[in-house]
Amino acid sequence: MVMQAFENWGLETHESLAMLGLGREDAKRLVSYRKGAPLADDPEVLDRAGHILGMHKDLRLLFPHDRENAYRWMKAHNRAFDGRTPAEVVSAEGLQGLLRIRGYLGRAVA
């Protein structure tokens, strides 16, 4: 489901790796995940996967009748993030960026 969210959001490989807390040297792992391999039994990767799935859910709740907007949101420039896209925030800030985006979405659906 995490890989499906990445595909829906139109993330580039480096953005997907950043979401999972992986480096470019882990690109082969990402390829295997895309082919259906289970995520590594790594607490950080699994924690991030939980946040990613939560963000996906929040976006679907925010845009219940417009999946295109829900899927486009991660790559859309946003004033709340100084004009950066949520994907750029995570790529630049790592886990803190992921938590920042998750918190923003959580507040939006509350």
Supply the mean pLDDT for the chain. Answer: 96
Section 65-91 average pLDDT? 96
End-to-end CA distance of the chain: 24
Name the residue type at position 85.
T
For residue 103, the model assigns a pLDDT of 97
Between the alpha carbon of residue 45 and those of residues 30, 52, 82, 105, the distances in Å are 12, 10, 27, 20
Tokens representing 41 are: 């039994």
**Gap between the Cα atoms of 8 and 53, Å rounded:** 12
Query: pLDDT tens for residues 94-105?
Result: 999 999 999 999
The pTM (predicted TM-score) of the whole model is 0.93
For residue 110, the model assigns a pLDDT of 86
**pLDDT-derived band at 8, boundaries 50, 70, 90:** very high
Name the residue type at position 63.
F
For residue 11, the model assigns a pLDDT of 97
